[in-house]
């Protein structure tokens, strides 16, 4: 059961702010100004603007923690507040934390390398080996909340957030924990990552028109937009939620994962791995494609991903795909890498709770005109029972989640 969630995104510093912006079709993508982008071929991204670490953590934490860990901690605190969850001595041994990230604390790693080069080894902080580790976000959350169950980092590129949630679901199902804080975080709008992904021809180069740059499922798409953010959900066993008197927001019923075993950056041309993940998630949920009412698509805005994902949805959902809304919220947030799957699961849950489906902005000329990609404006679809959220990543990582309305 999902009993709480929190988010920090280019659209806002909470779930409510992010969701309101999504329904309004507002873009969080702009010219990058937090770093020097001189000489970069790509100078746009989805930054988390106006974030004040002091609202969520003391200076001793914010000084050492990479932004990706700061965002994760802020999202976890919101999720706990939303769920009414206080980790006391009784609960602590049965509360776990799993945070996915594709890149981890890359900003801290780059800064440490530059410090070593410019100032020598004595200038390196003794916290460096901790704060530059992939599990630093998990550690900050666990220490802040006092959780004593398993805590671990998950890294499967762009599928990291979804895989972390799926792993949390399995952990509860196997009796390893009663409550899991699960989600994803990344802060990779850096010169190195913009340069590398830009050189790989994966990023949009619409530097002069940032809000129109991310164009999922549009015929004129030219790449994804690098973004940052975090989202965390509170997962609970049904009996634990009932015992706490928690409000259940939705039920996470299915999870599937797979690997393409094909290429580092390109999806399998027939979408074999993606099909396996989606089919596994539906099977895990005990449903078929005919039962899906909404798809929050991976929808990156790259030439290959969107074409392959469209073919996968047609194959797995059949005729159903032409009768339901399919949207990509990345069109507004950009691609938050490890955070994407968790943020998009939150959006899918919000759609189930409200009946409102966020749009795919910039989808002027849909690549499949028979599919409702929810172009430009949000749509109200009344009672939605089941949603599918897809996450496909570099390295051939695929993950899919199925969530059901309560």
* Phi, then psi, of 241 in degrees rounded to 5: -60, -40
3-class DSSP state of 27: coil
Ramachandran quadrant class, 303 (left: phi over 0; alpha: psi -120 to 50; beta: rest): alpha
Give Cα 255 to chain centroid, integer Å: 15
- Our answer to whether residue 214 is catalytic in this structure is no
Catalytic residue among 80, 158, 275, 363: 158
Give Cα 404 to chain centroid, integer Å: 19
CB 41 within 8 Å of CB 80: no
CB 295 within 8 Å of CB 186: no
| Cα separation values, 143 from 7, 137, 149, 231, 243, Å | 20, 10, 11, 18, 25
* Phi, then psi, of 318 in degrees rounded to 5: 65, -140
- Choose among 76, 69, 100, 79: nearest CA to 187: 69
Tell me the sheet residues that pair with 151. 97
Total residues found in the chain within this entry:
406
- Annotated catalytic sites, by residue? 158
């Amino acid at each position: 059961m999902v009993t709480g969630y929190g988010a920090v995104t280019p659209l806002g510093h909470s779930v409510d702010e992010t969701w309101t912006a999504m329904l309004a079709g507002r873009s969080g993508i702009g010219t990058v100004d937090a770093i020097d982008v001189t000489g970069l071929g790509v100078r746009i991204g989805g930054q988390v603007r106006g974030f004040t670490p002091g609202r969520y953590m003391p200076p001793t934490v914010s000084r050492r923690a990479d932004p990706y860990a700061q965002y994760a901690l802020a999202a976890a605190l919101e999720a706990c507040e939303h769920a009414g969850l206080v980790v006391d001595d009784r609960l602590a041994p049965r509360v776990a934390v799993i945070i996915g990230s594709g890149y981890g604390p890359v900003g801290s790693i780059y800064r440490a390398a530059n410090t070593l080069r410019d100032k020598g080894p004595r200038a390196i902080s003794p916290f460096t080996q901790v704060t530059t580790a992939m599990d630093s976000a998990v550690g900050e959350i666990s220490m802040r909340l006092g959780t004593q169950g398993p805590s671990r980092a998950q890294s499967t590129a762009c599928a990291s957030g979804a895989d972390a949630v799926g792993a949390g679901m399995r952990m509860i199902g196997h009796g390893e924990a009663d409550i899991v804080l699960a989600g994803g975080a990344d802060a990779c709008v850096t010169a190195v990552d913009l340069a590398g992904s830009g050189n790989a021809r994966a990023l949009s180069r619409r530097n002069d028109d940032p809000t129109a740059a991310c164009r999922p499922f549009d015929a004129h798409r030219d790449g994804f937009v690098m973004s940052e953010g975090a989202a965390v959900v509170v997962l609970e066993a049904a009996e634990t939620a009932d015992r706490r008197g928690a409000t259940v927001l939705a039920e996470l019923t299915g999870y599937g994962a797979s690997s393409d075993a094909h290429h580092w950056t390109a999806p399998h041309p027939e979408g074999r791995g993606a099909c396996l993940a989606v089919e596994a998630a539906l099977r895990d949920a005990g449903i078929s494609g005919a039962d899906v009412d909404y798809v929050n698509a991976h929808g990156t805005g790259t030439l290959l991903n969107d074409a392959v994902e469209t073919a996968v949805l047609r194959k797995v959902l059949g005729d159903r795909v032409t009768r339901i809304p399919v949207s990509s919220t990345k069109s507004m947030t950009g691609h938050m890498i490890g955070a994407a799957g968790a943020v998009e699961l939150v959006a899918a849950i919000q759609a189930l709770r409200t009946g409102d489906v966020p749009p795919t902005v910039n989808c002027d000329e849909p690549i499949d005109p028979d599919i409702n990609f929810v172009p430009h404006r949000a749509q109200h679809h009344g009672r939605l029972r089941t949603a599918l959220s897809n996450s496909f990543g570099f390295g051939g990582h695929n993950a899919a989640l199925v969530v059901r309305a309560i």
